[in-house]
Amino acid sequence: MSAVIDPSQDGHASSPIGEASPRLRPLLAGTPLADGASRTLAFGPSGAVECARFEREVRALAARLPQARFAVNLCENRYRFLVALCAAAVRGQVNLLPSSRAPATVDEVLGRYPDSYCIGDLDLAPLPPRYLRMDETLDQLDGAPLAVDDAALVAIGFTSGSTGQPKPNPKTWGAFRTSTAQNLAALHDLLRADGVTEVVATVPPQHMYGMEMSVMLPLLGAIAVHAQRPFFPGDVARALADASAPPLLVTTPVHLRALVESRVELPALAGIVSATAPLPQELALEAEQRYGCEVREVFGSTETCVFARRRTAHEQAWTPLPGVRVCPQPDGTAIHAPHLPEPVALADLMEVEADGRFHLRGRAADLLEIAGKRASLGDLTRKLLAIDGVDDGAVFQLDEADAFGVRRIAALVVAPGLDEARILAALRRSVDPVFLPRPLRKVAALPRNETGKLPRHALQALLHAQD
């Protein structure tokens, strides 16, 4: 194993593998099949990996990790991410999950958690500080079944920073087990009842949605996940073809739109799951018709994990998962859930029906009030995207205020066949003049991150670059 660290430098003793505790829970649930064989955990072009081999590789890596409290998990390959995450967990270390591998992002996490090192599977440039690169061939080590304490802090996820500075969100093994049980229940009719369901995911494992749907599901359910993270439509089609039965596609609205517009042929699917951004109903319906399966949208956040679901092509209301209560507040909504130690307040504004289902009405931060008139950034963006010839776009509010103390509204638009004047003229037909974005700038592409989100600082930086 190559490493750019001294394994003895960090001074913190990690917990020994398998330390006795009354709260220890298996790392893998339901490992043996009915015939006594070990179920498949991962698959891909190189073949299948069974749980027994996975545990041996986790033991070997865990025994060789440096002593530290935190491990910044930068693995790109999903299977290697799983091995690194679990190796750190059984050593009593906490996985830090930055929103990207950008050097500035990694440096920020390392600065916030100095007793940490980085672990990954790529030759990154520039090389992160205290970087341990996993070998091409992973060592294996026999031993007792692996377990993790229910109260153990195993991961800290970070918000994408779309509304400000990324914030840490700690997750215990017990919380993950509870939320994963809910997710399995929410997806049960899309999963195989007689065997292992294979999953292909386009979202990175460091994102909480990716963690829930492509990391925790195979650890704690009858799920096998594709070892890679396909990105382009052709790559997604090839990954789906690696499955031995109709697989479940876990993706985002941005990736789903790219698949539909590419006209790429996909094999039969068990279903499609989408999250990270609102899924347009027309896109969900088109995907269902094209691929002959249900498109199920799930609602969650880094702070809450998934807590609701809907079939977007045919319904507007969200159905909370079992045990979840959605409680509107003046400035947002409080989410109560079995896996949350206390209610979590979100900025999303929700309207709850008598049966507990709810409708999303926007975010408190998106609401605009200018000259006694009201609008929302989300609605303005939807009207922008509805213009014929607009491929992508975003309306957002600037930090700077004008001479009257009003923060201006701006827009970035991808529309190769239109000029800015024509776009503004089209907007005037549906938008009050007070809320017309000025400036509005055409760009080649929006600065979306790996999950398709638009960090606000990236939008403002691109706008200033255009100016």
**What's the pLDDT at 362?**
78
> Is the domain of 35 the same as that of 136?
yes
Least reliable range by pLDDT among 85-89, 327-331, 353-357, 361-365: 361-365
Q: Is residue 239 part of a domain?
A: yes
Mean of all residue pLDDT scores within the chain: 89
Q: Is residue 399 part of a domain?
A: yes
Return the C-alpha torsion angle 413, 418, 423, 429, nearest 10. Answer: -140
| CATH code where residue 450 lies | 3.30.300.30
Note the helical H segments in 37-130. Answer: 51-64, 78-90, 103-112
Q: Is residue 333 part of a domain?
A: no
411: helix, strand or coil: strand
**What's the pLDDT at 51?**
95
> Is the domain of 218 the same as that of 153?
yes
Q: Is residue 343 part of a domain?
A: no
Q: Is residue 363 part of a domain?
A: no
Question: How far is 106 from 69, CA to CA, in rounded Å?
Answer: 16
**What's the pLDDT at 179?**
95
Could you tell me if 213 and 184 are in contact, meaning their C-beta atoms sit under 8 angstroms apart?
Answer: no
Q: Which structure tokens are listed for 187?
A: 């997806």
Question: How far is 467 from 452, CA to CA, in rounded Å?
Answer: 24
**What's the pLDDT at 370?**
73
Phi and psi at residue 451, to the nearest 5°? -105, 5
From edge to edge, which strands make up the β-sheet containing 325-329?
325-329, 332-336, 344-346
> Is the domain of 416 the same as that of 306?
no
Question: How far is 399 from 460, CA to CA, in rounded Å?
Answer: 9
248-251 vs 197-201, strand pairing mode: parallel
Q: Is residue 413 part of a domain?
A: yes
Q: Is residue 427 part of a domain?
A: yes
Q: Which structure tokens are listed for 428?
A: 């005037």
| CATH code where residue 148 lies | 3.40.50.12780
**What's the pLDDT at 14?**
42
pLDDT band (50, 70, 90) for residue 423: very high
Examine the pLDDT at 1 and tell me if it is beyond 70: no
Taking the alpha carbons of 209, 218, 265, 316 in that order, is the dihedral positive or negative?
Answer: negative
Among 272, 293, 315, the domain-final residue is 315
Share of the chain above pLDDT 90, in %: 70
> Is the domain of 40 the same as that of 104?
yes
Among 273, 300, 315, the domain-final residue is 315
For 438, the domain range is: 371-466
> Is the domain of 128 the same as that of 10?
yes
| 441 Cβ contact partners less than 8 Å away, ≥ 6 residues apart | 410, 411, 412, 413, 420, 463, 466, 467
Domains identified in the chain, total number: 2
> Is the domain of 254 the same as that of 123?
yes
Each residue's pLDDT tens digit, 179-226: 999 999 999 999 998 899 999 999 999 999 999 999 999 999 999 999
**What's the pLDDT at 10?**
37
Taking the alpha carbons of 106, 107, 111, 116 in that order, is the dihedral positive or negative?
Answer: positive
> Is the domain of 206 the same as that of 77?
yes
Question: How far is 377 from 68, CA to CA, in rounded Å?
Answer: 44
> Is the domain of 92 the same as that of 20?
yes
pTM of the complete model: 0.83
Q: Is residue 331 part of a domain?
A: no
Question: How far is 171 from 145, CA to CA, in rounded Å?
Answer: 23
> Is the domain of 251 the same as that of 105?
yes
pLDDT band (50, 70, 90) for residue 8: very low
Among 279, 300, 315, the domain-final residue is 315
**What's the pLDDT at 347?**
87
> Is the domain of 285 the same as that of 406?
no
> Is the domain of 10 the same as that of 139?
yes
Please count the other Cβ atoms lying within 10 Å of the Cβ belonging to residue 420: 14
> Is the domain of 96 the same as that of 14?
yes
440 alpha-carbon distance from chain centroid: 30
Each residue's pLDDT tens digit, 28-70: 986 544 445 679 999 999 999 999 999 999 999 999 999 999 9
